Amino acid sequence: MYIRYHGNYTSPKTKQPYGIFVVIYHLYRDDKLSESDRKLYLDTKEWFEQNLPNPHFYNDNNSVNAVTWFKDGNNAPNMITQLEPFFNIAEKYNIEIIKSISKDLPGILIYEDEYQIGIVPRCANEEHIAQS
């Protein structure tokens, strides 16, 4: 099983809903967070940067238009628990965070580590192939 936390608005790049990391970043970027929530965002972001591997496709600005999903395994629950500050920020600022679950691989697998997978959604892949 695979789990993804995301907002209710879509990335023009991936054609998929923005993930929770980007949704909360948008609040930070747009200067909508209080000073204490800005610090909480930065501390939480730093924790993830130190503890969650960064998929290779982010190194080139995600030219493959991939999205990440947590794996429902032994290690992912700790990562999901660490998202709690982001869930709290979203709730405080009335931002909807949606939990999507897929029993099957939700796209074409291009990355995997002990916590997450990176996939190219099938519709995005078809569009990319059509444009090639």
Q: Which residues contact 96 (CB under 8 A, 6 or more apart)?
A: 7, 8, 90
**What single-letter DSSP state applies at residue 60?**
G
Instruction: Report whether 36 contacts 47 (CB < 8 A).
Output: no
Tens-digit pLDDT profile for residues 72-107: 887 888 899 999 999 999 999 999 999 999 999 999
Tens-digit pLDDT profile for residues 48-75: 999 999 999 999 999 999 999 999 887 8
Instruction: Report whether 16 contacts 124 (CB < 8 A).
Output: yes
Range of the domain at 44: 2-131
What's the total number of domains in the chain? 1
